[in-house]
Homo-oligomer: A and B are copies of this chain.
């Protein structure tokens, strides 16, 4: 995860609000364990994204515990779209290097 953290965080939260710990478990489950991000990466990233205005958070007290639930803002959705475009362009570029001559189309359609 180098340079793609924001993308996956915005991506997973765009599917529904959630708190930090949940983001981690969601990613782990949705990817079959391929993406198992450490808390030390996720929490600071969420704070940064909130500072940038791409996320908002609310505290929810739940059974004596407190949870900070994050939602993607309109700006966040725009940023997600932009980063998704960049990601796809990167994938295409790298694939065209790894498999020259093979036309790697969009991921699906």
Q: Is the CB of A89 within 8 A of B34?
A: yes
Segment 73-109 of A: residues with Cβ below 8 Å from B: 84, 87, 89-100, 102, 104, 107-108
Specify how many copies of this chain sit in the oligomer. 2
Interface size class of A (residues with CB under 8 A): 20 to 34
Is there a chain B Cβ closer than 8 Å to A30's Cβ? Answer: yes
Point out the residues of chain B lying under 8 angstroms from A4, CB to CB.
2, 90, 94
Residues of B within 8 A of A97 (CB): 8, 11-12, 27, 30-31, 35
Residues of B within 8 A of A102 (CB): 108
Chain A residues close to B by CB (< 8 Å): 2-4, 7-8, 11-12, 15, 27, 30-31, 34-35, 84, 87, 89-100, 102, 104, 107-108
Q: Mind listing 25 A-B residue pairs with CB under 8 Å?
A: A2-B2, A3-B3, A4-B90, A4-B94, A7-B94, A7-B98, A11-B97, A11-B98, A12-B97, A15-B100, A30-B97, A30-B100, A31-B92, A31-B93, A31-B97, A34-B90, A34-B92, A35-B97, A84-B98, A87-B98, A91-B91, A99-B107, A99-B108, A102-B108, A104-B108
